[in-house]
Structure 1
Amino acid sequence: MSITTTANKPAGQAAPAVSVTPVTWKLPVTLGLLGIVAFVFFGLLGPDKTAKFGISSGGDFFQLPAIEVPAALGGTVLSVILLALAGYAAFLKTRDQRAPRWLPILFTVLFVAAFLIWVVGGARTTSISLAGLIAGSVTLAVPLVFGSLSGVLCERVGVVNIAIEGQLLGGAFTAAIVASVTQNPFVGLLAAAGAGALVSMVLAVFSIKYVVNQIIVGVVLNVLVSGLTGFLFSTVMQADKATFNSPGRLPIIDIPVLSSIPVLGPILFKQSVVGYLMYVAVILVWVGLFKTKWGLRVRAVGEHPQAADTMGIKVNATRFWNVTLGGAIAGIGGSFFTLVAIDSFTKEISGGRGFIALAALIFGRWNPIGAFFAALLFGFADNLQSIVTIIGTPVPSQFMAMLPYLVTVLAVAGLVGKSRPPAASGVPYVKG
């Protein structure tokens, strides 16, 4: 449903129609329910212990004191703030005003903080390294960031990229086998980019040239790459692991002094080559899309290909090369699994992270910066479920294992606001 308003115009002039989407109760109700859950479990039923969060590690340039929070009191205070934010969202709804973007973001941050206090306060070990939790989250988010950037580049030009999983998996396999044969992980990194680009070129040829349904092609590519890499792993890699599945690892580059800054140091200045490339890729894709003539053409093709064609832009050629570039970026992300995380390839090593990357780009509203932070959120959920299991949390391990995927479902469901994809995303262009 939409409401159309007409501005007063002089006689003889057409008045523009403005479509206004009505404000719904979805956000206030959701925030209210989560606030009540937080108040009951994190506040009223919160543990009587004190949760301790370490900020600095032994190698930091200077030491910061740990943060100690009484679990029940901290959970109660944060829960009251959460309920107040939900009430504010409801108040805005009664006035037909949309909640500001910062409100669900602040609510999410405070809810996660309350959850952490509750979990750590009720664990056998009531202490956790906050710096380690954040640094580990960024590390786990690396392939998600590359995958989401691939999706952004493809969808901004009008092609739905369901094949991110296949691009990550193909990059991981190729990086492992090429680095093993050449005994050079940097050559494996370049080969991973080529493998991801090759998978994307198949997607581009069938979806752009032959106008096959883009989602079907993406799903088929995921199955194809999964089956092919699994077969080669069983028949080639396992037969001679020393030759074909011993790629080595990319070195961790430690920038002196800067890497010793508490919390930020390990995140920004103590990374592998792939980690540093992640930050560079996010910046370059954002600048390219929104600050260059190339980006303007790309977005025009994704929003209105007919108009772009009229202006002399080669629509399908632009789509083809953008999809190929996106695949190369995803392939680099796939190399993280075999050249950084571990030094070998295993079947299905990507573990469905391509689909989480797809959710990250939707959550990030098809913006490279938004997709980056969304990927960090999913990486945080993934790392959190590992750490809280180690410290002996009262939360069932099965629930913690499903936490990353639960966050993904909530994000795709649009609980933080409605996202609008590029208008021509998924629509093939046939020049008439």
Structure 2
Amino acid sequence: MTTAGTAGLLTRAPEQASIRSWKAPISLVVFTALYVLLISAAARDGVSTFRLSTDADAIQLPSLSVPVGPAAWVAGLLLLVLTGVAFALVQRRLRTPLWLIIVYILVAVFGFLTWAIAGAAIPVAGLLAGAVALAIPLIYGALAGVIGERAGVVNIAIEGQLLAGAFSAAVVSTITGQPLLGMVAAMIAGVLVAAVLAAFAIKYLVDQVIVGVVLNVLVAGLTSFLYSQVLQPNQATLNTPPRFDRLPIPLLSEIPILGPVLFRQTIIVYLMYIAVAVVWFAMFRTRWGLRLRAVGEHPQAADTVGINVNATRFWNVLLAGAIAGLGGTVFTIGNGIAFNKEMTAGAGFIALAAVIFGQWDPIRATLAALLFGFASSLQSTLSVIGSPVPSEFMLMLPYLVTIFVVAGVVGRSRAPAADGQPYIKG
């Protein structure tokens, strides 16, 4: 089959009528109103300071100090303008663009931070570095979710794949003293979990969501049992994983703000950069990507032009499992932390939310995962500097952001047409 023939499968899908979706504008109205209510009811004075450089930076940037009241209200005015633009676009039957959402989030974060740290200083590089660190497993999980769903298989088992990867990486790297071998073991563990999902969902036609949920429970129970019965009694010999060293990239690591955040990282982070670029390029610029998207959009048509639908789905689910398993290494050898029960703490489900927010696109899903990581990092940072925001709200912040972007900001989006649907040949 030619590449052009496969591409044709993706253009013969029924065209969707242009339908207005008011979800995004209405959500922006609600959150703008909450922001204005916050800075009005709990007005704060003083100066907020944003420290842009660390003592280790070769290039030192001056700290940015802004008056709390004026800066917070200017941010509120900009949020109103952006909300109005969103309404105008939807009125003209246009979708709310991604750039508008990104600008809205940046302005809202700046205004909220200015209000929250009144009279204090916040290290911007530390905040962003924490966001990247917390987003890495989410990005790996989101890539796995995008590949699986583009092929037509809903990968609810990302949580289990991350947890299996974390467990295997900790044990193997402890025994061998080689974190690289732990990384390989984590990928194999992710593939094994994915193989069970693929076998039941593709060959035996079991409901994919049910299989994924059962696998998550199975992996959580199995790793918890092994942790209690095997790892805890032998902590020194089985659960003291080494960590990857940070590898600063010459010149790039000296870029102000971004250098310490992006280019003073471990090999796991650098592999993530490569994975995002390769998955995006391969999905939209190669024959493999055309076949992958064809079996997820129109498996019957793909079958008629010679594509083995179920085999394509099976191998891509295994590939997704390997990527998710690699993401699990962040929890153990990525930080030199011993394995603990259910240490992934729902990261796989947030990764699935990133897939939806990113509209099944690797780049957009990565941006969504970074947003969720930033929300978690912001919660920790504000708690450390003594923000007046209630601690209960701070604990909810990452999940509130998840609900905000998935239920409101995403707007109208369409999953691959055959996502979650088993294919029976003939």
What band does the TM-score fall into relative to the shorter chain? over 0.9
Cα distance between partner residues in 1 of 2:417 and 2:15 = 17
1:57 and 2:54 are equivalent in the alignment = yes
Deviates more, 1:42-51 or 1:324-333: 42-51
For 2:334, what is the secondary structure of its paired residue? helix
Q: Which residue of 1 aligns with 2:228?
A: 234
Cα distance between partner residues in 1 of 2:21 and 2:329 = 43
The one-letter amino acid paired with 2:31 is L
- TM-aligned CA deviation for residue 131 of structure 1: 1.2
Q: Which residue of 2 aligns with 1:3?
A: none
1:39 and 2:33 are equivalent in the alignment = no
Q: Which residue of 2 aligns with 1:217?
A: 211
- TM-aligned CA deviation for residue 94 of structure 1: 4.3
> 1:182/1:95 Cα in 2 relative to 1: closer, same or farther (>3 Å)?
closer
> Quick one: which of 114, 117, 128 aligns to 2:122?
128
> Quick one: which of 63, 66, 70 aligns to 1:69?
66
- TM-aligned CA deviation for residue 415 of structure 1: 2.3
> 1:175/1:94 Cα in 2 relative to 1: closer, same or farther (>3 Å)?
closer
> 1:313/1:393 Cα in 2 relative to 1: closer, same or farther (>3 Å)?
same
1:194 and 2:188 are equivalent in the alignment = yes
- TM-aligned CA deviation for residue 230 of structure 1: 0.2
For 1:197, what is the secondary structure of its paired residue? helix
Alignment of 1:331-350 (within 5 A): 331-350=325-344
Contact 1:38–1:75 (Cα < 8 Å) also in 2: no
Q: Which residue of 2 aligns with 1:80?
A: 77
Q: Which residue of 1 aligns with 2:141?
A: 147
User: Sequence identity, in percent?
Assistant: 54
Cα distance between partner residues in 2 of 1:206 and 1:245 = 32
Cα distance between partner residues in 2 of 1:184 and 1:343 = 15
> 1:145/1:100 Cα in 2 relative to 1: closer, same or farther (>3 Å)?
closer
For 1:238, what is the secondary structure of its paired residue? helix
Contiguous gaps of at least 5 residues in structure 2 = 1-12
Contact 1:104–1:416 (Cα < 8 Å) also in 2: no
Query: What's the CA shift string for 1:316-365, capped at 9, x where partnerless?
Result: 00000000000000001001101022431000010110000010111111
Higher RCO, Cα 8 Å, sep 6+: 2
For 2:109, what is the secondary structure of its paired residue? helix
Q: Which residue of 2 aligns with 1:360?
A: 354
Cα distance between partner residues in 2 of 1:87 and 1:414 = 16
Contiguous gaps of at least 5 residues in structure 1 = 1-15
- TM-score, normalised to structure 2, is 0.94
For 1:428, what is the secondary structure of its paired residue? coil
Contact 1:162–1:358 (Cα < 8 Å) also in 2: yes
- TM-aligned CA deviation for residue 38 of structure 1: 1.9
- TM-aligned CA deviation for residue 105 of structure 1: 2.4
- TM-aligned CA deviation for residue 180 of structure 1: 1.1
Query: What's the CA shift string for 1:12-56, capped at 9, x where partnerless?
Result: xxxx99642432433333222222222232357431111100111
Deviates more, 1:198-207 or 1:17-26: 17-26
- TM-aligned CA deviation for residue 232 of structure 1: 0.2
> Quick one: which of 314, 332, 341 aligns to 1:320?
314
> 1:63/1:238 Cα in 2 relative to 1: closer, same or farther (>3 Å)?
same
1:372 and 2:366 are equivalent in the alignment = yes
Contact 1:177–1:188 (Cα < 8 Å) also in 2: yes
- TM-score, normalised to structure 1, is 0.93
> Quick one: which of 381, 391, 395 aligns to 2:389?
395
Q: Which residue of 1 aligns with 2:99?
A: 102
- TM-aligned CA deviation for residue 96 of structure 1: 4.5
- TM-aligned CA deviation for residue 370 of structure 1: 0.6
- TM-aligned CA deviation for residue 95 of structure 1: 4.5
The one-letter amino acid paired with 1:302 is G
For 2:233, what is the secondary structure of its paired residue? coil
Contact 2:249–2:263 (Cα < 8 Å) also in 1: yes
Q: Which residue of 1 aligns with 2:5?
A: none
The one-letter amino acid paired with 1:106 is V
Q: How many residues of Structure 1 are paired with residues of Structure 2 in the alignment?
A: 414
Q: Which residue of 1 aligns with 2:250?
A: 256
Contact 2:152–2:313 (Cα < 8 Å) also in 1: yes
> Quick one: which of 273, 277, 298 aligns to 2:292?
298
Deviates more, 1:140-149 or 1:30-39: 30-39
> 1:312/1:18 Cα in 2 relative to 1: closer, same or farther (>3 Å)?
closer
Cα distance between partner residues in 2 of 1:289 and 1:94 = 33
For 2:332, what is the secondary structure of its paired residue? helix
- TM-aligned CA deviation for residue 237 of structure 1: 0.3
Q: Which residue of 2 aligns with 1:5?
A: none
- TM-aligned CA deviation for residue 107 of structure 1: 1.4
Aligned-residue RMSD, C-alpha: 1.6
Query: What's the CA shift string for 1:260-301, capped at 9, x where partnerless?
Result: 221111233211111111101101111110111111110101
Contact 1:147–1:168 (Cα < 8 Å) also in 2: yes
Cα distance between partner residues in 2 of 1:424 and 1:181 = 43
Cα distance between partner residues in 2 of 1:332 and 1:267 = 21
